[in-house]
Structure 1
Amino acid sequence: MIQSASLALREAFSPAFRSILFKSVGLALLLLVLLGVLVQTLAVKLIDLESTTWDFVADLLSGAGVLIALFFLVGPVVSLVAGFFQDQIAAKVEAEHYPGDPPGKELPTGRSILLAMRFALLVLVVNIGALLLLLVPGVNLIAWWAANAYLLGREYFEFAAMRFLGEAQARNLRRERQGRVFFAGLFVAAFMAIPVLNLATPLVASAFMVHIFKGMNGSRRTA
């Protein structure tokens, strides 16, 4: 698993993936900026203390709150963005490292986007829960890491598996190997906690889970 994680990290930032990296990071940044502007605009409109000084303080505090909120929104945003690029990432990994295996099949566009939206909503709910636990030292970080490890491991693994299996079969395989998938998810969640680099989560996680799935099937990497 460590070797697969290391390989996925190298691949995500390699020249072969540069185009997808720029597009996925750019889209994630655009969505985060739009969300930040929206939240800040709503906060300014809702907060009116009828005092220039206190309004200024409130603006500063709300700005800090928006930054904290955006940290927790990175997960849902990159999860949504992943739906647009996962097939491209998986296809490149499969072609480069498993050329002897039959290539995976792309999910229908509509189904892929629907799954990405569902995934993003689940991650959003989990991160809101973690945000509410912010005042409990240590607990919120542990809860955030464990919950995201489960969700990220489940979704990215099932996507990699669904390129070769039906949805029900992919889900059953994930349940059979849930321990391994969860530990793989811990790596993805840890990566997503790193500011700035976490914008590349779709590339790293998608490539990583292709290797995990292939390893379960007994496929051998050529490099």
Structure 2
Amino acid sequence: MNSVIASLLKAIRQLADPAVVRVAAKSIAITVLIFVLAGFVLYYALVLGLARVGLDGGGLAGATAAVLIALVAFWFLFRVVALGVLQFFADEIVAAVEARHYPDAAKRATPLPFRRDLANSLRGIGRALLFNLIALPIAILLVFTAIGPAIVFLLVNAVLLGRELTDMAWLRHCGDPPGPTPVSGIQRFALGGAIAAMMLVPFAGLLAPIIGAAAGTHVTLGAMGRRAPEDPAHA
């Protein structure tokens, strides 16, 4: 647990690193753009739908419905979209952390080819959508408790994010096919929970995936460093 806290603090301190700033700017801009474009498409689809059922003056109704649906979709899908976008730039963040804090590991790292990077990203998005959809009925049943749905999604995304954020660094060192990660389940859950909670905070949620990727690199490289010298990952 202490290693996760220390990793998060190191990640936050590195937010001013130019390489991290560039990735943050790109990933945040693309994430926001995806939701803005989706909102426009949703608005026009609703207006056309209302017109087809005879509500020709449905512009205001369409706009209102689009805003409400977009807000719900943003809350539900933000983690999935933000992490999916970040996957395409993850190597840059991991490389920046390795270069600054783990120069020896940086020399051994193997950047992922685009095809493998894309496959990992799509698998991650698929897992996130699947498990969030599975959790949705449970969250709906607990809606009367007010806090129940938030806890359900927090726990689900803690598991998902913990895996994705540590795998970003591990996949650069584990070879192909990947071996078992050196990061413990408790570490992954703690890191994922911290980032999932951060994603619930307005504005801070936009930086949470960046902080998570950097912190996941610290957690993973720290776990690798504690392995026995004869471990293949250190050969």
- Among 103, 106, 110, the residue aligned to 2:111: 106
Question: Could you tell me how far 1:195 is from its partner in structure 2?
Answer: 2.3
CA distance in 2 between counterparts of 1:131 and 1:60 reads: 24
CA distance in 1 between counterparts of 2:57 and 2:33 reads: 32
CA contact (8 A) 1:152 1:185 kept: yes
CA distance in 2 between counterparts of 1:4 and 1:143 reads: 25
User: When the two structures are superposed, what TM-score results if normalisation uses the length of structure 2?
Assistant: 0.80
Taking a change above 3 Å as real, the CA distance of residues 130 and 65 of structure 1, as seen in their structure-2 partners, is farther
- Which region of structure 1 is more displaced relative to structure 2, 47-56 or 65-74? 47-56
Taking a change above 3 Å as real, the CA distance of residues 168 and 188 of structure 1, as seen in their structure-2 partners, is farther
Question: Could you tell me how far 1:58 is from its partner in structure 2?
Answer: 6.0
- Among 20, 24, 28, the residue aligned to 2:27: 24
How many residue pairs get aligned? The number is 217
CA distance in 2 between counterparts of 1:92 and 1:184 reads: 19
CA distance in 2 between counterparts of 1:121 and 1:50 reads: 38
Identity of aligned residues (%): 28
- Which region of structure 1 is more displaced relative to structure 2, 68-77 or 11-20? 11-20
- Among 124, 145, 153, the residue aligned to 2:129: 124
Question: Could you tell me how far 1:112 is from its partner in structure 2?
Answer: 0.5
Which residue type is aligned with residue 148 of structure 2? Answer: V
Question: Could you tell me how far 1:192 is from its partner in structure 2?
Answer: 1.8
In the other structure, the counterpart of 2:14 is 11
CA distance in 2 between counterparts of 1:147 and 1:41 reads: 33
User: When the two structures are superposed, what TM-score results if normalisation uses the length of structure 1?
Assistant: 0.84
Structure 1 regions of 5+ residues with no counterpart? none
Structure 2 regions of 5+ residues with no counterpart? 227-235
Residue by residue over 1:161-195, the C-alpha shift from the partner in whole angstroms, topping out at 9 and shown as x without a partner, is 1111035544x226x71122111111121122222
Relative contact order (C-alpha < 8 Å, sep 6+): which is higher?
A: 1
In the other structure, the counterpart of 1:70 is 74
CA distance in 2 between counterparts of 1:43 and 1:125 reads: 26
